[in-house]
Amino acid sequence: MSELREHVRERYAEAAKLAFGGSCGCGPASCCDEDADYGAAHYDAATLGEVPDAAALASLGCGNPIAVAELREGETVLDLGSGGGIDVILSARRVGPTGRAYGLDMTDEMLELATRNAADAGVGNVEFLKGLIEEVPLPDASVDVVISNCVINLSTEKAKVFDEMFRVLRSGGRLGISDIVAANELSPAARAERGSYVGCIAGALSFEEYERELRRVGFTDVAIEPTYEAADGMFGAIVRAVKP
């Protein structure tokens, strides 16, 4: 595991411990220390009412991928970097008992928290997997939808993440992702000046780079839409794409 990946793991493990203790996960251990535009604020009150408080407290994302993905009854969903489980729980409710929601995370503390949150929420059609988003422990063509909430920017091997998303999706499957994306004119150095890697800023791809990677692996109907400015030239964005 790279030094940077280990740093990310340590920070998110601390966030899980804070949520276990009933404190906001948006403390010094998360993206939220850098910007107010992260966490449960992206979900309306009715949606937050569907999940345990600990899942909302541990929410470290930059958007609401459930609103992007338009999940349907009976679908199988994979959440990359599932954290405290908020998006997995919400996905499980939307795909119903004939569907299934997987959450993938590399952090033991987050997996423990997410498992407890799912049990407290009373959803049984969920499964949490330990692993890396660069090496998804699921078979080829096994899911209908891949979601993620401000995690792809944290990967140090993003090309592998795009490869894996395409691999695990069935034909006709789709992406519904919230992420931080940089203006095309910002160099990697300029992005790093605006925030740290674990703060979800320095590791962000540009709009052009994001689209190029999606198309490289074979995605079509690619759409990357900025929704708010998280830092100068850095945007919260929703990402959609389809596997032919």
User: Which pLDDT tens digit goes with each residue over 41-63?
Assistant: 889 999 999 998 888 877 778 99
- Output the domain CATH number for residue 81: 3.40.50.150
Give the integer Cα–Cα distance in Å for 148 and 141.
18
Q: Residue 24 has what pLDDT?
A: 45
Nearest-angstrom CA–CA distance, 98 and 76: 9
Element (H, E) at 177: strand 169-182
The whole-number pLDDT of residue 193 equals: 87
Q: Which pLDDT value is given to residue 29?
A: 36
- Which contacts qualify for 2-11: CB closer than 8 Å, 24 or more apart? 2/156, 4/156, 4/197, 5/106, 5/156, 7/197, 7/198, 8/154, 8/197, 8/198, 9/106, 9/107, 11/198
| pTM over the 0.85 mark | yes
Radius of gyration of the chain, Cα coordinates, nearest whole angstrom? 16
How far apart CA 185 and CA 16 sit, in angstroms, is: 35
Per-residue pLDDT, 20: 55
99 lies in which domain range?
A: 3-242
Report the domain count for the chain.
1
**For position 58, what pLDDT does the model report?**
74
User: Residues near 151 by Cβ (< 8 Å), separated by ≥ 6?
Assistant: 61, 80, 81, 133, 179
Which two tokens mark 173?
Answer: 């499957």
pLDDT for the residue 8: 60
Q: Which residues of the chain have pLDDT under 70?
A: 1, 4-38, 196-199
Token couple for 224: 């990357």
